[in-house]
Structure 1
């Protein structure tokens, strides 16, 4: 567990204990004092919210390295590995520890404080902003879970912390999505700049009600667009509501949690784990388990994408940042083919030796995988690309090409928000857009251009990239077919429920499987038709 999480937990427990002692002292004759019996709730609630944000950004391997990189990042071919025991995703193998991580962490860790906040403030009108923001955050936490697993506990989620509901029922995803969208609409309308906020305890927006409102509508845009295959009319309704409500306007509105690399309390957990023994430790001298995929590197090189040095380096640059100008040069980047192990790679490259791993590109740990890189929950680049699709569908009067180009600029300009000192000049961005123009064409041709760019721009927001790939089919990926894989050589469409659900929440689990279909990687979630 992140040591900052522990610190906040200890702070909250100690503060509550001290406050309880103070209240009990009323028996000593001080009950007539004019004190507010709820004075302790505001700092405690603020600490709870801070803790929830931190744990959602990273509470160990389960909701970072496993879900984001080893599974989602491999499914969409950002990453590949020759190690079938530590990196299973590019081979579509099942490993319970990886598979259950996001589900169990969301319910046991991420959701805990949010559920408590909602229960504490639901009947306190003066704290209506607390309630609204906590509800938005609850949607953020649970939409990732339903997108990865399908039917999940939603209406009863988190009730074990406040109502002894230890075996929650599973809601159908077809019911969950309308509930989430309604919650975002209600909370966006409820936010009130005249009322108290979480202030500095809000590590995302520092209590800025306008930015939270834009985030709520931007999430609405994301979720509304998710419905385009299963219910286009409902998707159109909610996308139009999101646009009318007011989504993100620039990179200043990005929903992110900043980190600093000075101590373990403030590290980006995902980056920390990628730099560790199962990722790209410099001590491995290029023979670590994680490499960038040939699919991803080849695309970036073919389009002469200026983000390539920000994303990729050879191992020598990870070991010594002074070498980055040479080790991030596009011409030396080489992606590892997905779906192979230390033996089968020799069928593709007959002269293969293990030392050759050092020639393949790794994620850059001084920039996008630095300990002080921000956790991105939703970016303006994503919003702009979804707005481009909305315009393409005729759901707004925007110009598709303009929205697309705004997204490219936003993605490239966001490099300045990361450590490492890299930036892309306006002239370079313009040159990229000139060399890779948005050409229009058929509906599908434009969708492909928009969502290929989505894939490139969303690197390391991999859970969302995976969801968007399932919805759109872009980029067009060639599946792998590793011996013994779980899918028959097709990219997984969901994760399996934790095995503990079948034994500890049996009735709810069985009902979900009966409604949704077999608990397999190949069973599609409701919106993935």
Structure 2
């Protein structure tokens, strides 16, 4: 092979002169070259408002990764809202490991939800005219990541999402004891920085239409949620942030709720939880009641025993899902039946003599016409949730008003909000009053009042199941009897967290090992920092 460094090029002088002229001409023409070659009809820079719209949609649901798997099959089943006889499709009520389920939220949050969010923050940082865009994105980042830390514990926070903008593909794990103060401080900083006199996202903000005062309320309501999360591990710190949230201004009515509306059209517009529950892994109407995801006996019995008027909104027998005209009869409370948790198609015969698989059709399903509809709105934070936290804050002496008033407000908010759902009918004031009369806030000891507040939390926050799971670990309410299915991961105890994805142990090994060394074994039973 010829070594090129020894080649001698012999160009005629005329050729060299022509080449020099060409270089000069090209350099002079280059000044307008970029403009000439830019398509005026194409986007060459990110449209920040569109990025935010997409970010909201993907956080609300990206297939089953951040909906059906973590919210229903795991958290919902562990909290005995759902039950199933299929141990391979619905693992939560049996505390069984299935990597695709337990990995899903982690992978979706970092791989999908943070993508546009990180770009927005990078593009708007240190730009005074974009201060609202920047801080609303920061508030949304806290919302995305608080769900991850509440399910897994220690995790990437400070370097989360930087792979999209800074090339950091192996982010360090932060301690949850550092993550929570950082999230709370970010909410405070961003809430105070929002400026109604400057531009916002406008119509591209599908939650609040760019209204900065609403985002401020959202930030303080999220601060209230996170502050309450610290009551076991650091009551003084919890009190500080709860008081700040209340003073800053939390939700005052259902008009303040943070929601994304959906339509029963294309997949981009679906309420993904409803769409997935309607599919083959849930309760497809075509299964005629023999689908996998049934309502749990614990939940159904509670609704029936308290004469809860939300029952027909929440659940139905299968004919109502197959044919909505059957709902008046398929939602009669006395006919509802919940499936016991922790059994399969064989072991169920030990408690129900003569069981046949066709009998599954006698058990209640989630109502796919209302709370499980393709057009059901995604609720990120509700006024009902805020009022229940305020009831606890009053009980602890941290808030204004009395616990009973806040509790009653919470119940009314939950029952009155049904009108925003497809097929949701207004529960009358008389029915609400009857429920509160039959199930009054009775006071009593601190523990007795906590039990009443947070059992109501469990009943009224149905389908906000990841939050129910977090709140149960903090408060211990409602009181649930664990299952003990053979081969479960916990020795017959309700899990305290989800294990990290197996890929983290190989692709981000050093940071994964450091997190496990700090937090404890990567097990379902290891308690995270705030869950003492």
Which residue in 2 is equivalent to 1:11? Answer: none
CA distance in 1, matches of 2:43, 2:429: 50
Please tell me whether residue 466 in structure 1 is matched to residue 472 in structure 2.
Answer: no
Q: Which of 338, 344, 348 pairs up with 1:345?
A: 348
* Structure label with greater radius of gyration: 2
Q: Map residues 53-452 of structure 1 onto 2, 5 A cutoff.
A: 53-452=56-455
**SS of the residue 1:413 aligns to:** helix
SS of structure 2 residue aligned to 1:163:
coil
- The secondary structure found in structure 2 opposite 1:203 is coil
- 1:153 offset after TM fit, Å? 0.2
SS at match of 2:173: coil
Q: 1:42 to 1:226 in 2, by over 3 A?
A: farther
Following TM superposition, where does structure 1 have runs of at least 4 consecutive aligned residues deviating by more than 3 angstroms? Answer: 26-33, 39-43
- SS for the counterpart of 2:165 is helix
CA distance in 1, matches of 2:324, 2:35: 65
Q: 1:263 offset after TM fit, Å?
A: 2.9
Match of 2:458 in 1: 455
- Give ranges in structure 1 of 5+ residues lacking alignment: 1-25
Q: Distance in 2 between matches of 1:287 and 1:443?
A: 43
Please name the residue that 1:525 is paired with: 528
- CA drift of 1:123 comes to 1.8
After TM superposition, the structure 1 stretch with the greater mean CA deviation from structure 2, 259-268 or 141-150, is 259-268
2:483 corresponds in structure 1 to 480
Number of equivalences = 500
Q: TM-score, normalised by structure 2?
A: 0.92
SS in 2 for 1:185: helix
* CA deviation string 1:368-406 (max 9, x = no partner): 000000011110000000000000000023111000000
* Aligned residues of 2:313 and 2:424 also touching (Cα < 8 A): no
CA offsets 1:187-226 (integer angstroms, 9 cap, x no match): 0000111010101110100001111000000000000000
Counterparts of 2:219 and 2:44, CA distance in 1:
25
Distance in 2 (alpha carbons) for counterparts of 1:355 and 1:408: 37
Cα RMSD over matched residues?
A: 1.6
CA distance in 2, matches of 1:402, 1:27: 72
Separation of aligned partners in 2, 1:109 and 1:143: 15
Task: After TM superposition, give the deviation of residue 351 of structure 1 in Å.
Answer: 1.0
Distance 1:220 1:42 in 2: 34
Q: Which runs of 5+ in 2 are unaligned?
A: 1-28
User: 1:329-351, CA deviations, whole angstroms, 9 ceiling, x for partnerless residues?
Assistant: 10110000000000000011121
- 1:266 Cα shift? 1.1
> How far apart, in 2, do the equivalents of 1:383 and 1:141 lie?
19
1:104-146 Cα offsets, whole Å, 9 max, x none, are 1000000011011000000211000001100000000000000
State the 1:265 CA deviation: 2.8
User: Could you tell me how far apart the structure 2 residues matched to 1:118 and 1:461 are?
Assistant: 27
Secondary structure of the structure 2 residue equivalent to 1:391: helix
1:70 shift after superposition:
0.3
1:163-207 Cα deviation digits (max 9, x unpaired): 110000000000000000000000000011101010111010000
Counterpart secondary structure, 2:47: helix
Q: Which residue of 2 aligns with 1:17?
A: none
| Match in the other structure for 1:5 | none
CA distance in 2, matches of 1:111, 1:188: 20
Structure 1 Cα separation of the partners of residues 105 and 197 of structure 2: 36
Q: 1:490 aligns with which of 490, 493, 504?
A: 493
